[in-house]
């Protein structure tokens, strides 16, 4: 009887220690046991949405549970990024955060910043291109630049993302590099590159600054042309698109990125499993082929490297936004 009781006590102690250990490390060995939501802060059809969907399909196959992409758009990315940050930290809501998270708080649009999340992995880095309607008279970026310079302020309209977003900053940087004020071209806000390119094809705007891969569908459909890319070198997938340096002798480059993050208090055990799953997904033939086919730049960084990458980007954006006159006053 005493021996049986001792066994019972030891069993209870072992179970308690195991439970305490799992609790301390936040481990949930069976995660995921139900569907996972992957929030995308930008509209369906854009580059971020497409990347999120192919990643979700790979994770679903490898982890055995549905990974459902949820588009939460609006507020220049604030709505979706806020939904990621404020979701329960249980591993069942993740998000594809973008470069805008290094910008929003400098602009006074949201208190969210890179440190509002638990970073998991950086997957992608892309420079912006300058796109025009296929029927536009500008056969080169120099022709477009000359037309913009000679036009009254506000006559030309551009789009690509929300007001003060990365592609808006790209336009402002280009204008300033040409000696023009930041507001010389009117910015028309959009919920990402896809609707902006649709507006371009419909004649609603004169140019779109977004990555060339995001513009590819409209380019391939014969509805748009890319005149230049704001990068140090050409994209091998779009080798006919020159750099600003080649075309205008302007040394200006910028990049948008995409990565996976979770609510800040995500348990270590789940974060560790996600780290392995995300690296496997990134290295997979499916993901690599997708990124190459789209012309997206691949850039891997683990959680620690991603955190450092965002910290550096945050400093750069603080200076860039201030120079553009878009920084929060006071």
Last residue of a domain, one of 197, 216, 248: 248
pLDDT of residue 20: 39
What is the spatial distance between Cα 82 and Cα 110, in angstroms, rounded to a whole number? 8
- State the residue range of the domain holding 207: 129-248
CATH number at residue 277: 3.40.190.150
Q: Which of 15-29, 187-201, 271-285, 301-315 has the lowest mean pLDDT?
A: 15-29
Domain stop point among 248, 280, 299: 248
Q: Average of pLDDT values for 184-211? A: 95
Q: Which two tokens stand for residue 24?
A: 């301390």
| Position with higher pLDDT, 303 vs 316 | 303
| Shared domain check, 138 and 114 | no
Answer left, alpha or beta for residue 192, where phi above 0 means left and psi between -120 and 50 means alpha.
left
267 and 119 fall within a common domain: yes
Read off the pTM.
0.73
d(CA 282, CA 120): 12
| CA–CA gap between residue 330 and residue 327 (Å, rounded) | 9
Q: Find the range with the poorest average confidence among 80-84, 155-159, 213-217.
A: 213-217
pLDDT value at position 311? 95
268 φψ region: left (φ > 0), alpha (ψ -120 to 50), beta (else): alpha
Indicate if 144 and 240 belong to the same structural domain: yes
290-306 core/surface letters (b: 16 or more CB in 10 A; e: else):
bbeebbbbebebebeeb
Cβ 199 vs Cβ 207: under 8 Å: no
Mean confidence (pLDDT) of the chain? 89
**CATH number of residue 195's parent domain:** 3.40.190.10
Count of beta carbons in the 10 Å neighbourhood of residue 127: 20
Residue ending a domain, among 212, 230, 248, is 248
Mean pLDDT confidence for 211-227 = 94
- Of residues 242, 200, 246, 244, the one with CA closest to residue 219: 200
Residue for token pair 């551009």: 158
What pLDDT sits at residue 29? 58
pLDDT digits (tens, 9 = 90+) for 46-73: 889 999 999 999 999 999 999 999 999 9
Number of domains in the chain: 2
């Amino acid at each position: 009887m005493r021996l049986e009781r001792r066994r019972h006590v030891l069993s209870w102690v072992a179970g308690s220690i195991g439970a305490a250990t799992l609790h301390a490390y936040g481990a949930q060995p069976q995660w995921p046991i139900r569907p996972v939501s992957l929030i995308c802060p930008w509209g369906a059809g854009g580059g971020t949405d497409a990347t999120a969907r192919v990643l979700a399909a790979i994770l679903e196959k490898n982890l055995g549970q549905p990974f459902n992409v949820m588009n939460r758009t609006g507020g220049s990315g604030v709505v979706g990024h806020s939904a990621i940050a404020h979701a329960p930290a249980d591993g069942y809501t993740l998000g594809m955060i973008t470069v805008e998270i290094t910008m929003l708080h400098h602009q006074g649009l949201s208190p969210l910043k890179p440190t509002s999340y638990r970073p998991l992995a950086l997957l992608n880095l892309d420079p912006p291109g300058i796109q025009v309607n296929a029927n536009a008279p500008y056969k080169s970026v120099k022709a477009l630049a000359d037309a913009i310079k000679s036009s009254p302020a506000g006559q030309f309209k551009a789009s690509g993302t929300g007001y003060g977003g990365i592609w808006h900053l790209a336009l402002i940087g280009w204008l300033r590099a040409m000696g023009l004020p930041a507001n010389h071209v009117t910015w028309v806000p959009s919920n990402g590159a896809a609707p902006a390119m649709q507006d371009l094809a419909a004649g609603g705007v004169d140019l779109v600054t977004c990555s060339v891969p995001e513009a590819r569908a409209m380019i391939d459909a014969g509805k748009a042309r890319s005149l230049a890319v704001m990068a140090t070198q050409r994209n091998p997938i779009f080798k006919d698109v020159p750099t600003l340096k080649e075309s205008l002798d302007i040394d200006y480059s910028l990049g948008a990125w995409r990565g996976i993050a979770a609510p800040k208090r995500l348990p270590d055990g789940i974060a560790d499993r996600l780290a392995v799953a995300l690296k496997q997904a990134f290295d997979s033939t499916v993901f690599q082929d997708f990124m190459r086919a789209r012309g997206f730049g691949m850039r891997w960084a683990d959680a620690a490297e991603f955190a450092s990458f965002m910290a550096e980007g945050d400093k750069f954006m603080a200076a860039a936004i201030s120079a553009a006159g878009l920084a929060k006053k006071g």
